[in-house]
Amino acid sequence: MTAAERVEAVNSARHTLVQAVTGLVVIGGVVFTALGLWYTAQTLNTTQEGQITDRYTKAVGQLGSTKSDVRLGGIYALQRLAADSTRDRDTIRNVLSAFVRNHDGCTLQPGEKTPPKRCSDGNGRMSAPLVRPPADVVAALTIAPTLTANNSVDLTGHADFSHSRFPRADLTGADLTNANLNFANLTGANLTGANLTGANLTGADLSRARLAGANLNDSLIVTDVTVEGRIVAELSAAGVTVTRLTVADLTEAHLTRAKLTGAFLTGANLTDANLTDADLSRADLTEANLKGATLYSADLRGVRGITEQQVRAVAKVDSNTKFGPMPG
């Protein structure tokens, strides 16, 4: 190897070494940057989790305040938190639902000895004036049903207002979509224009309630009755859950596909109500007003208190409307 060749070989080796070192430096920089970004992300995530926990704790603490405006602020803080943290929506919904049940106006609060007159049984509640629930209760009642994880339809996690008591409550225009109102006391309540789409009203008492223009499409009014050959009065005695809509005002109410199996609709006003594809089997329609009601594809088998001829004379029916006794 000549001197020139040796010089060229040394220079080539040096060049290769420089390239290798440069490559290692670049790789090291990339790794260092990636680790820095990962650490930053972890720190940010930890910080955010801590902030969410702090916000949640503070908001829930506000719900226990004796001042309604502080409670209202806590409710809206939870709503904002639910928007920022999807995974906490179910928990927040449950908290708001519990708040509604515990502040329904009939559940005794600290220092109270007797519930309001409207909460008592008998005709006392019918003579009491309509009462608009406090702003914080209305807010929780409205917000809770809207909270579902990932904005999905959660068939098992609806806002739970079961057994709550709102007799003579003014809930005009309330949005109770998909709410669980099992065994709720809504006697004489004003639900005019309320949205009860998909709500579960099994066993709820809606006697004398005002539901004019309310939307009850796809609502579950009563657990599907499987006992055959029994009249409505016997169904109740047999332990079958029955909803009471006695003397309820359902004028122009939307009841498409509603399940009203075995419901008490005695004296109910169903004028111009839309009951398309509704299940009214075994319902008590004694003295109910069905003038102009749409009963296309509705199931009226086994109904009490009204004949097929009387229904056809005042309501809109088609070839798919079912009349007659229950099968079996």
Backbone phi and psi for residue 160, each to the nearest 5 degrees, phi listed first: -95, 100
The packing angle between helices 3-63 and 68-84, to 10°, is 150
Q: Which residues of 5-25 are buried (b: 16+ CB within 10 A; e: fewer)?
A: eeeeeeeeeeeeeeeeeeeee
CATH of domain 161-328: 2.160.20.80
pLDDT for res 294 = 97
Q: For the whole prediction, is pTM greater than 0.85?
A: no
Confidence of residue 249 (pLDDT cuts 50, 70, 90): confident
Q: In whole angstroms, what is the distance from residue 180 CA to residue 55 CA? A: 27
Q: Are 200 and 158 in contact (CB under 8 A)?
A: yes
Q: Which helix (H) or strand (E) holds 282?
A: none
Name which residue leads in pLDDT, 124 or 147: 147
DSSP string of 46-73? HHHHHHHHHHHHHHHHHHT-SSHHHHHH
- Domain extents in the chain: 161-328
**How would DSSP label each residue in 72-111?**
HHHHHHHHHHHHH-GGGHHHHHHHHHHHHHHTSSSSPPTT
Residue, of 18 and 167, whose pLDDT is higher: 167
**What 3-state DSSP class applies to 3?**
helix
Query: Which residues are registered as beta bridge partners of 294?
Result: 274, 316
For residue 251, the number of C-alpha atoms closer than 13 Å in the C-beta half-sphere is: 6
| Tens of pLDDT, residues 143-166 | 998 887 554 434 344 789 999 999
At 40, the pLDDT band (50, 70, 90 cuts) reads: low
